[in-house]
């Protein structure tokens, strides 16, 4: 029970803890997901914003360069562009104030002037000598449009350059084109800024085919790559999609992993020549922004969750250990470490459900003395030795426990008495020879055991429970019986004997109350007079009808009452009932018949016996002649004189005296001849044994006894007349009356009245 309770509590604890852990983990995961998604959102937003910022700076730079070029163009428009040498000098002068690589002027005929930084200005340049990218810019300018070229390799400067071009006007007319080239590194200043994403990112610039135009020195990807399609940036599956998106100048978000880390990136179109800003987030900026504390919070939370999980698991372990300890103390005997009686009673029904077996209760004879002689400590060590020896003697599927003091209980699988006996003998033998006490002293150790056997399994838990309780009770009865015997002894519980003892216990504890409550009833059995064929009288026989309607017969309680002395009271009570019955007949105008009452030895020798009987007949005012007192011949043993004296006094008062059960025991003819009795009742055993050879002689003897008794004036009644043959036999032998089932069983007084007393004619039997 306790175990179940603890298991239940533990199970609840485990479920509770698991739920809390699950909830905590879920919270942690959700929180992490939330943080990481906000981080991503924020990162994305931040990259976008930064890219936009850099884009606008690039556009601004381009605009500024165009502005410079346009101003120069206005200035050139006012000059004489025909004067080439002069023009060249002017341009060289102008370029010194700007950062262009080269400034060139081409007229509508394709003749040009070039001013390159660090070189002499060139007059007479031809448009056709210009790279195609430059040419298209010039062409656009001559058509009145300003433009910027794609990137190309300049032969003059051997650098990757691009070209701006603006038209030069004279009034309304385009008279030429002013172009300037610059290498792309002018953006490097913008793009190499270590401030990208607060230092946690960097920006490259790429062309619309994905070629790197400007690579940030802060790049995490160290390989020298040509395009974004090389290296770690894009998965093969993504490449086509990205190519398409680049062509369409779309913004692209993505992520690549490099050396085990993930990096989000953004490809943002600049809006000029298909250029793109390729922004990469290295994540470090997050540590410096508001995400730093969030990260700390996330880690702290994770730490707290882990700590809580640890604490809970630790708490669970503590609880489990505590429960185990609780079970240990609840189910074990602290002295020997054996299981205790509580545990034994719990295990027993579980076993009995599936198997029969024996329960043994074992005690040490005179244990308190042993403890007194050798001291408590030695006695306790001795109990521990019992436990150790018991462990050796029980099989694996058997068990035992220590009850109180020196009492041990065993459950053995055996159901055969002899096997149980020999196993227990082996155990007690070993104890008697091998304990500290028996080895070191000559103390005669002895055990006594009670055993109760259940022959087969019970089948259902309910039956097993009941059987277990019975066995535990019965084994104590058996132990009690074994205690009475000296030296080591094993007593098996006997169900029949126990039932008898149980009944005796009931009888003894209820007899006084039963007498007060009138539970002892008067039953009457008729006697037939063999000469007249009429009712001769009746014998009063007691019946005990208990409160719950159960009938107990005299054989079950009279011997006990004779032992405990209660028959004195009962016999007088029955004698009174007989007197009352006779009184009732007389009162009803019915001619009474004599009633015989059985008298026990104890009552018979009571000093005031005769006086008490006399008082009774006086009380009911009936003739004493109607009361016959049946006594047993055992009364005469050794005290014939005393008995005869009492008989004489009774006869003087008018009572008749009958010798009951003649021939049943050690009746001697001598006793019969010496007692002055009025009646003799032949025991029914004599009728039972009338057949056979030896009986012939018995019959002859009996016939003579009857004849002799008759001559002494003794009235002879034969008991146990069951058949017509029985009646014929007793008639032949010369009996005066017969009593037995042939005529009637003992019946209640009202039934007797109904059968014989209502009508004089009915008395013919």
**Interface positions with ligand C2E (CB under 6 A):** 525, 541-542, 553-555, 558, 567, 571, 574, 598, 600, 660-661, 684, 720-722, 739-741, 746
User: Which residue, 230 or 504, has its beta carbon nearer to ligand C2E?
Assistant: 504
What is the token pair recorded at 749?
């007084």
Terminal CA-CA length for the chain: 69
User: Which residue, 130 or 735, has its beta carbon nearer to Ca ion?
Assistant: 735
User: Which residue, 281 or 660, has its beta carbon nearer to Ca ion?
Assistant: 660
C-alpha closest to that of 165 among 193, 143, 190: 143
Torsion of CA 726, 727, 730, 732, to 10 degrees: -110
Give the ranges where 261-416 is alpha helix by DSSP (H): 284-288, 291-331, 341-352, 367-374, 376-393
User: Which entry of Ca ion, ligand C2E, none binds 489, CB below 5 to 8 A by partner kind?
Assistant: none
User: Which entry of Ca ion, ligand C2E, none binds 181, CB below 5 to 8 A by partner kind?
Assistant: none
Give the ranges where 565-619 is alpha helix by DSSP (H): 567-587, 601-604, 609-619
User: Which entry of ligand C2E, Ca ion, none binds 628, CB below 5 to 8 A by partner kind?
Assistant: none
Signed CA dihedral, 76, 77, 78, 80: sign only? positive
For residue 614, the Cα-to-chain-centroid distance in whole angstroms is 75
Q: How far is the CB of 677 from ligand C2E (least distance, A)?
A: 15
CA distance 647 to 170: 181
Q: How far is the CB of 702 from ligand C2E (least distance, A)?
A: 18
CA distance 667 to 648: 21
Interface with Ca ion by CB under 5 A: which residues?
Answer: 598, 630, 660-661, 719
Q: How far is the CB of 377 from ligand C2E (least distance, A)?
A: 58
Q: How far is the CB of 611 from ligand C2E (least distance, A)?
A: 19
Whether the CB-CB separation of 125 and 113 falls below 8 Å is answered with yes
User: Which residue, 379 or 632, has its beta carbon nearer to ligand C2E?
Assistant: 632
Q: How far is the CB of 577 from ligand C2E (least distance, A)?
A: 9
Q: How far is the CB of 687 from Ca ion (least distance, A)?
A: 12
User: Which entry of Ca ion, ligand C2E, none binds 574, CB below 5 to 8 A by partner kind?
Assistant: ligand C2E
User: Which residue, 48 or 664, has its beta carbon nearer to Ca ion?
Assistant: 664
User: Which residue, 454 or 538, has its beta carbon nearer to ligand C2E?
Assistant: 538
CA distance 78 to 503: 147
Residue 410: phi and psi, rounded to 5, are: -125, 145
Q: How far is the CB of 748 from ligand C2E (least distance, A)?
A: 12
User: Which entry of Ca ion, ligand C2E, none binds 468, CB below 5 to 8 A by partner kind?
Assistant: none
User: Which entry of ligand C2E, Ca ion, none binds 525, CB below 5 to 8 A by partner kind?
Assistant: ligand C2E
What is the token pair recorded at 393?
């003697």
User: Which residue, 111 or 529, has its beta carbon nearer to ligand C2E?
Assistant: 529
User: Which residue, 427 or 561, has its beta carbon nearer to ligand C2E?
Assistant: 561
User: Which residue, 172 or 691, has its beta carbon nearer to ligand C2E?
Assistant: 691
Q: How far is the CB of 602 from ligand C2E (least distance, A)?
A: 9
Contacts of 174 (CB under 8 A, 6+ apart): 108, 141, 142, 143, 144, 167, 168
User: Which entry of Ca ion, ligand C2E, none binds 541, CB below 5 to 8 A by partner kind?
Assistant: ligand C2E
Angle at 665 (CA atoms; ends 680, 538), nearest 5 degrees: 35
Whether the CB-CB separation of 745 and 765 falls below 8 Å is answered with no
Q: How far is the CB of 684 from ligand C2E (least distance, A)?
A: 6
Q: How far is the CB of 666 from ligand C2E (least distance, A)?
A: 17
User: Which entry of ligand C2E, Ca ion, none binds 107, CB below 5 to 8 A by partner kind?
Assistant: none
User: Which entry of ligand C2E, Ca ion, none binds 720, CB below 5 to 8 A by partner kind?
Assistant: ligand C2E
Long-range contacts: 705-708, Cβ < 8 Å, 24+?
A: 705/669, 705/672, 706/733, 706/734, 706/735, 707/734, 708/669, 708/673
Contacts of 657 (CB under 8 A, 6+ apart): 628, 629, 631, 647, 650, 651, 676, 677, 678, 679
User: Which residue, 61 or 690, has its beta carbon nearer to ligand C2E?
Assistant: 690
Q: How far is the CB of 708 from ligand C2E (least distance, A)?
A: 22
Whether the CB-CB separation of 714 and 651 falls below 8 Å is answered with no
User: Which entry of ligand C2E, Ca ion, none binds 554, CB below 5 to 8 A by partner kind?
Assistant: ligand C2E
User: Which entry of Ca ion, ligand C2E, none binds 68, CB below 5 to 8 A by partner kind?
Assistant: none
Q: Which class for 168: exposed (0-12), middle (13-18), buried (19 or more C-beta within 10 A)? A: buried
User: Which residue, 461 or 634, has its beta carbon nearer to ligand C2E?
Assistant: 634
User: Which entry of Ca ion, ligand C2E, none binds 282, CB below 5 to 8 A by partner kind?
Assistant: none
Q: How far is the CB of 339 from ligand C2E (least distance, A)?
A: 50
User: Which entry of Ca ion, ligand C2E, none binds 149, CB below 5 to 8 A by partner kind?
Assistant: none
- Beta strands 122-126; 201-206: pairing state: unpaired
Q: How far is the CB of 539 from Ca ion (least distance, A)?
A: 6
Collapsing DSSP to helix, strand or coil, 620 comes out as coil
Q: How far is the CB of 630 from Ca ion (least distance, A)?
A: 4
Q: Which class for 443: exposed (0-12), middle (13-18), buried (19 or more C-beta within 10 A)? A: middle
Whether the CB-CB separation of 94 and 70 falls below 8 Å is answered with no
Whether the CB-CB separation of 186 and 159 falls below 8 Å is answered with no
Identify the bridge partners of residue 162 per DSSP, sorted by sequence position: 182
Whether the CB-CB separation of 160 and 183 falls below 8 Å is answered with yes
Cα distances (Å, whole numbers) of residue 311 to 59, 270, 304, 460, 676: 60, 56, 10, 44, 101
Q: How far is the CB of 757 from ligand C2E (least distance, A)?
A: 19
- Beta strands 551-552; 201-206: pairing state: unpaired
Query: What is the CB neighbour count within 10 angstroms for residue 27?
Result: 12
Q: How far is the CB of 557 from ligand C2E (least distance, A)?
A: 9
User: Which residue, 210 or 720, has its beta carbon nearer to ligand C2E?
Assistant: 720
CA distance 651 to 627: 11
Residue 597: phi and psi, rounded to 5, are: -120, 140
CA distance 143 to 146: 9
Q: Which residue, judged by CB position, is nearest to ligand C2E in the bound state?
A: 740
Q: How far is the CB of 439 from ligand C2E (least distance, A)?
A: 58
CA distance 353 to 355: 6
Identify the bridge partners of residue 453 per DSSP, sorted by sequence position: 358
Which residue has tokens 């019959």? 699
User: Which entry of Ca ion, ligand C2E, none binds 753, CB below 5 to 8 A by partner kind?
Assistant: none
User: Which residue, 149 or 628, has its beta carbon nearer to ligand C2E?
Assistant: 628
User: Which residue, 327 or 558, has its beta carbon nearer to ligand C2E?
Assistant: 558
User: Which residue, 281 or 571, has its beta carbon nearer to ligand C2E?
Assistant: 571
User: Which entry of Ca ion, ligand C2E, none binds 558, CB below 5 to 8 A by partner kind?
Assistant: ligand C2E
Contacts of 656 (CB under 8 A, 6+ apart): 594, 625, 627, 628, 629, 678, 679
Whether the CB-CB separation of 591 and 585 falls below 8 Å is answered with yes
User: Which residue, 181 or 667, has its beta carbon nearer to Ca ion?
Assistant: 667
Query: What is the CB neighbour count within 10 angstroms for residue 680?
Result: 27
User: Which residue, 125 or 568, has its beta carbon nearer to ligand C2E?
Assistant: 568
User: Which entry of Ca ion, ligand C2E, none binds 156, CB below 5 to 8 A by partner kind?
Assistant: none
User: Which entry of Ca ion, ligand C2E, none binds 555, CB below 5 to 8 A by partner kind?
Assistant: ligand C2E
């Amino acid at each position: 029970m306790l175990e179940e309770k603890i298991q239940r509590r533990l199970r609840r604890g485990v479920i509770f803890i698991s739920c809390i852990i699950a909830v905590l983990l879920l919270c942690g995961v959700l929180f992490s997901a939330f943080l990481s998604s906000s981080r991503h959102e924020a990162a994305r937003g931040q990259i976008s914003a930064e890219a936009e910022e850099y884009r606008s700076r690039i556009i601004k730079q381009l605009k500024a360069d165009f502005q410079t070029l346009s101003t120069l163009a206005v200035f050139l428009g006012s000059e004489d562009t025909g004067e080439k040498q002069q023009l060249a000098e002017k341009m060289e002068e102008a370029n010194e104030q700007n950062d262009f690589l080269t400034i060139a002027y081409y007229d509508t005929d394709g003749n040009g002037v070039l001013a390159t930084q660090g070189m002499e200005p060139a007059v007479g340049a031809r448009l056709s000598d210009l790279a195609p990218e430059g040419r298209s810019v010039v062409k656009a300018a001559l058509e009145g449009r300003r433009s910027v070229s794609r990137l190309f390799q300049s032969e003059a400067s051997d650098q990757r350059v691009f070209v701006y071009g603006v038209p030069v006007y004279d009034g309304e007319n385009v008279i030429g084109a002013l172009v300037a080239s610059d290498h792309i590194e002018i953006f490097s200043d913008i793009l190499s800024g270590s401030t990208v994403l607060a230092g946690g990112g960097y920006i490259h610039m790429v062309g619309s085919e994905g070629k790197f135009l400007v690579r940030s020195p802060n790049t995490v990807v160290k390989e020298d790559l040509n395009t974004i399609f090389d290296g770690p940036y894009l998965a093969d599956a993504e490449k086509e999609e990205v190519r398409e998106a680049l062509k369409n100048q779309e913004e692209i978000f993505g992520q690549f992993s490099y050396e085990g880390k993930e990096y989000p990136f953004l490809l943002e179109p600049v809006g000029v020549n298909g250029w793109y800003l390729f922004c990469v987030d290295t994540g470090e900026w997050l540590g410096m922004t508001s995400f730093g504390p969030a990260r700390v919070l996330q880690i702290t939370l994770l730490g707290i969750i882990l700590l809580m999980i640890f604490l809970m698991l630790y708490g669970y372990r503590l609880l489990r250990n505590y429960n185990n300890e609780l079970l240990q103390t609840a189910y074990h005997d602290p002295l020997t470490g054996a299981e205790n009686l509580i545990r034994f009673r719990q295990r027993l029904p579980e076993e009995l459900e599936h198997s029969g077996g024996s329960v043994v209760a074992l005690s040490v004879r005179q244990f308190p003395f042993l403890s007194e002689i050798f001291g408590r400590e030695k006695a306790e060590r001795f109990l521990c030795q019992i436990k150790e020896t018991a462990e050796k003697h029980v099989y694996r599927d058997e068990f035992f426990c220590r009850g109180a003091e020196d009492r041990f209980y065993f459950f053995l699988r055996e159901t055969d008495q002899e096997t149980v006996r020999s196993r227990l003998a082996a155990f007690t033998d070993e104890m008697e020879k091998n304990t500290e006490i028996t080895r070191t002293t000559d103390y005669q150790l002895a055990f006594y055991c009670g055993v109760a056997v259940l022959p087969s399994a019970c089948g259902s838990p309910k039956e097993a429970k009941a059987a277990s309780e019975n066995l535990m009770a019965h084994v104590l009865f058996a132990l009690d019986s074994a205690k009475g015997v000296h030296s080591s002894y094993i007593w098996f519980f006997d169900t029949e004997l126990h039932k008898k003892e149980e009944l005796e216990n009931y009888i003894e504890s209820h007899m006084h109350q039963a007498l007060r409550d009138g539970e002892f009833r008067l039953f009457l059995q008729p006697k037939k007079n063999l000469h007249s064929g009429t009712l001769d009288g009746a014998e009063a026989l007691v019946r005990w009808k208990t409160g719950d309607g159960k009938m107990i017969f005299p054989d079950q309680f009279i011997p006990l009452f004779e032992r405990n002395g209660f028959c004195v009271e009962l016999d007088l009570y029955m004698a009174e009932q007989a007197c009352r019955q006779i009184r009732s007949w007389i009162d009803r105008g019915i001619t009474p018949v004599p009633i015989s009452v059985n008298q026990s030895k104890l009552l018979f020798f009571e000093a005031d016996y005769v006086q008490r009987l006399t008082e009774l007949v006086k009380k009911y005012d009936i003739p004493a002649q109607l009361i016959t007192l049946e006594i047993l011949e055992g009364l005469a043993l050794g005290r014939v004189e005393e008995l005869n004296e009492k008989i004489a006094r009774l006869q003087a008062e008018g009572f008749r005296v009958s010798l009951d059960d003649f021939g049943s025991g050690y009746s001697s003819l001598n006793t019969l001849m010496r007692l002055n009795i009025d009646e003799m009742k032949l025991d029914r055993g004599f009728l039972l044994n009338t057949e056979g050879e030896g009986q012939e002689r018995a019959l002859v003897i009996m016939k003579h006894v009857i004849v002799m008794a008759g001559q002494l004036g003794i009235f002879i009644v034969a008991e146990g007349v069951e058949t017509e043959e029985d009646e014929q036999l007793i008639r032949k032998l010369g009996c005066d009356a017969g009593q037995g089932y042939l005529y009637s069983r003992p019946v209640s007084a009202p039934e007797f009245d109904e059968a014989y007393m209502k009508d004089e004619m009915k008395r013919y039997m």
